[in-house]
Amino acid sequence: MILANLSPAAIGLVDTAMVGRLGSPSFIGAVAVNTVLFGFLFTALNFLRIVSTGRSAQAFGARDGSRLRHSLAQGLLFAFALAGLLLLLREPLFALGIEAIGPSEAVATLARQYYDLRLWSAPASLGNYVLIGTLVGMGSGGGPLVMVLAANGLNLLLDLLLVLKFDLGIQGVAWASLAAEYFGAAVGLVLLGRRVRGLAGHWPTGLRELRQDMRWLLGANAVLFARTLALMFVFAFMTTAGARLGDAVLAANAILINMQYCTAYVLDGFANAAEAGVGQAIGERNAGELRLINRHALAWSLGSSLALSALYLGGGPRLFGWITDLDNVRSIAATHLPWVAALAPLSALAFHYDGVFIGALRHRAMGASMLIAVGAVFLPVWALSRDFGNDGLWAAFLAFNLARGVLQQLWFSRWQRRGELLLPV
């Protein structure tokens, strides 16, 4: 799952490398603009994967093939409905994005060419969230990895053909990414079909069955959507507040935040494992297995985060030298490196319990912990420490991540003490 989490970034890197050979920085700018646009549009809807993972894990743990098929069909139906909505709103969404980013006219024109083609990947992209979530819930880490590697491989091949051989420019890059998304979805359907086939049960036979639990599904998705927006707000705030402290601080923070993203990729891998293990244990009504999964996943997360912290402290300065030759940026990044090193172990609880809560279908508490951490911790700590400049900003970010984990740990301990985790949600 760690490898699967890292692999999607390769599509953006390959696309950038291809257009980087087209003779104008406008092409790179157009891909960068669309990376932001699609990152926002699709990341804001990643609740599709979260809900699919917990529901399928519990159904798989209970060996209830009918419930698992119902979850999969309902999730795909919801994903396709959202994809249709994105396509209907494609004009205002692009206009808002361009207004917010403010690229040059040349970049905006090229970005539009890419966007008009790539947005048609929405059904596959959102459907992939459901397919990956279901595979993870069934305990398959290899399935998602095969999906993203297949998509990345085809994307690279088509980029070479369409851009370098047939000279289709930015549209060739868009066609390659579009085809790669659908190919990844096709691979996922094949992999999932093989696993589901071995589980007794039936598919929903009509709309009446598909509407079952729809109110719960809509509520869970709404809560998780709000949670995602809150998290995106925090990262946007980090960028905006850093920009107000000067270009050098903005650049240094960008490097440090990317290091935190690397932490997230690693810890999310263990959280994904916790999602599947916790969900299956709850489906089996096995309290002992639930405690074991929680203890082991947390130990791995904490151990890995401490290793990352040591790696950052030891190799961070050398990394900064590879990334930039600007002495002031490297100096600021090195000065604030201890914050990122401390963040790794202090945010491990939050990543771990995100996974546990997803497997336990405790989406409301998961969303509440995020909103409380933003409103009652992040913003107040920033307001109180803003006189300390960038140190105050990173202190607020650290407090935010720590608060999320502590709140979730307190919730989990109470549920475990009361024996509520094995009860239906």
Q: What is the pLDDT of residue 394?
A: 96
pLDDT at 396 over 80: yes
Q: What is the pLDDT of residue 368?
A: 95
- Give residue 10's pLDDT band: very low, low, confident or very high (50, 70, 90): low
Of 33, 30, 8, nearest to 261 by C-alpha is: 8
Q: pTM higher than 0.95 for the full model?
A: no
CA–CA distances in Å: residue 142 to residues 192, 273, 283, 347: 11, 12, 22, 26
**At 34, is the secondary structure helix, strand, or coil?**
helix
Percent of the chain with pLDDT over 90: 65
CA dihedral sign, ordered 230, 232, 237, 240: negative
- Give residue 320's pLDDT band: very low, low, confident or very high (50, 70, 90): confident
Q: What is the pLDDT of residue 423?
A: 80
Write down the mean pLDDT value for the chain. 90
Residue 171 corresponds to which tokens in the numbers above? Answer: 């549209």
Residue 178 corresponds to which tokens in the numbers above? Answer: 């579009």
pLDDT at 390 over 90: yes
pLDDT at 19 over 80: no
* Tens-place pLDDT, residues 158-211: 999 998 889 898 899 999 999 999 999 999 999 999 999 989 999 998 878 888
Query: How buried is residue 213: exposed, middle or buried, by Cβ count under 10 Å (0-12/13-18/19+)?
Result: middle
Q: Are 349 and 42 in contact (CB under 8 A)?
A: no
* Helical spans, DSSP H, in 89-141: 90-101, 105-118, 122-137
- Of 155-164, 234-243, 381-390, which range is least confident? 234-243
- Give residue 22's pLDDT band: very low, low, confident or very high (50, 70, 90): confident
Q: How many residues does the chain have?
A: 425
Percent of the chain with pLDDT over 70: 98
Secondary structure string (H, E, C) spanning 187-216: HHHHHHHHHHHCCCCCCCCCHHHHCCCHHH
Q: What is the pLDDT of residue 205?
A: 85
Q: What is the pLDDT of residue 8?
A: 61
pLDDT at 294 over 80: yes
Stretch 382-398: mean pLDDT: 95
Stretch 130-155: mean pLDDT: 93
Q: What is the pLDDT of residue 424?
A: 72
Phi, psi for 24 (deg, rounded to 5): -145, 135
| Residues whose CB falls within 8 Å of the CB of residue 282, separated by 6 or more in sequence, listed in order | 57, 58, 61, 290, 359, 360, 421, 422
Q: What is the pLDDT of residue 301?
A: 95
pLDDT at 14 over 90: no
Residue 398 corresponds to which tokens in the numbers above? Answer: 């650290």
CA–CA distances in Å: residue 260 to residues 167, 184, 311, 338, 339: 37, 27, 12, 12, 10
Write the single-letter amino acid at 117. Answer: L
CA–CA distances in Å: residue 116 to residues 99, 101, 171, 175: 17, 17, 9, 10
* Helical spans, DSSP H, in 347-421: 348-359, 363-372, 379-385, 390-418
